[in-house]
Amino acid sequence: MSLNPEEVRRIAQLARLELSPQETGRIGDQLNGILTFVEQLQAVDTAGVTPMAHAIDVVQRLRTDVATEPDRRDAFQAIAPETGGGLYLVPKVIE
């Protein structure tokens, strides 16, 4: 199967990536090359095989529900693009 420019734009929108029209064409071609390459996986019979999500089969470790991290808000906000009053600033989302 092959992605058309409309599908490439839809995926880019899902990924929150703005693509220029030139990029949509060029990257679209490359994506189709990669998808053709991974297509060979479809031919493999995997009936009854358990998917392997992780390299090592271990049970998820849980920790006690206690605060362990110190408050380092100032250090973290010092590297933010825009802050104010201890908050991260973004364009208005609620009118």
| Shortest spacing between CB 60 and other proteins, in angstroms | 7
| Shortest spacing between CB 67 and other proteins, in angstroms | 14
Instruction: For residue 9, state whether it binds other proteins (rule: CB under 8 A).
Output: no
Instruction: For residue 93, state whether it binds other proteins (rule: CB under 8 A).
Output: yes
With vertex at residue 16, the alpha carbon angle to CA 19 and CA 73, rounded to the nearest 5 degrees, is 130
Exposed / middle / buried, residue 9 (Cβ in 10 Å: 0-12, 13-18, 19+):
middle
- H-only helix segments in 1-95: 5-14, 21-38, 73-77
Chain residues that interact with other proteins, rule: CB under 8 A:
3, 8, 11-19, 23, 27, 30-31, 33-35, 37-42, 44, 46, 49-56, 58, 60-61, 63, 72, 75-76, 78-82, 88, 90-91, 93
